[in-house]
Amino acid sequence: MLAFYKQLTTAQFEAALATLGHCIDRCPEAAWDAPVAELKFCQVVHHTLFFTDLYLDQGDEAFRAQPFHAEHASYFRDYEELEPQRQTHLYDRSTTVAYLQHCREKAIAQIEAETEASLAAGAANPWIKFTRAELHLYNLRHVQHHAAQLSLRLRLDHGVDIPWVASGWHDCD
């Protein structure tokens, strides 16, 4: 059953992140910093990836200490997403694309490394009050929520369609 859970969860992370990738790729340049609800398009994408990354990790210290974060310190700046305020920073597309790939690779590795015990354990984030297994599903819902939000803005404001991705990264070819 554990292998089955890992396979399904990995496939759905790949699909959700591929959908987000389509939003990034197909976003017109003029829309990258345009409003989407209370944030800008680039901020919504960054927020989505930031929390995907955080929820896949084993706590705040490990999260901040990742090599990707050290290599892109100017992209993460002061970690404003962890503060109780609305984001103000804007994010460049090329680093955001690299961050998407980082999150994709991390999801694959983290889910593969899970054991029955680790999935049954509580989440490392103090504000999350459920197991790591449920955190993965919560994380997926978060990615899907924002991918849908971005897809709708692209369709309504720019006539850009985002294709359905069924179960993995290979569907976006």
User: Residue 78 has what pLDDT?
Assistant: 92
User: Residue 127 has what pLDDT?
Assistant: 84
Spatial distance between the Cα atoms of 29 and 73, rounded to a whole number of angstroms? 24
Statement: the pTM of the whole predicted model exceeds 0.75:
yes
- Element housing 153 (H / E): helix 132-158
Q: Among residues of the chain, what percentage have pLDDT more than 90?
A: 84
User: Residue 143 has what pLDDT?
Assistant: 98
User: Where do the domains of the chain lie?
Assistant: 2-80+87-172
DSSP lists the bridge partners of residue 36 as: 39
- C-alpha closest to that of 151 among 142, 140, 160, 138: 160
User: Residue 123 has what pLDDT?
Assistant: 87
DSSP code for 140: H
Spatial distance between the Cα atoms of 59 and 40, rounded to a whole number of angstroms? 27
User: Residue 169 has what pLDDT?
Assistant: 59
What is the three-class DSSP state of 124?
Answer: coil
User: Residue 61 has what pLDDT?
Assistant: 83
- C-alpha closest to that of 167 among 11, 9, 10, 3: 11
Spatial distance between the Cα atoms of 114 and 70, rounded to a whole number of angstroms? 25
User: Residue 125 has what pLDDT?
Assistant: 83
**How many Å from the N-terminal Cα to the C-terminal Cα in the chain?**
30
pLDDT < 70 regions, the chain: 168-173
What is the sign of the dihedral through the CA atoms of 120, 122, 123 and 129?
Answer: positive
Burial class (CB in 10 A: 0-12, 13-18, 19+), 94: exposed
User: Residue 142 has what pLDDT?
Assistant: 98
- The residue with tokens 């984001």 is 87
Spatial distance between the Cα atoms of 13 and 144, rounded to a whole number of angstroms? 9
User: Residue 128 has what pLDDT?
Assistant: 87
* CATH no. for 2-80+87-172: 1.20.120.450
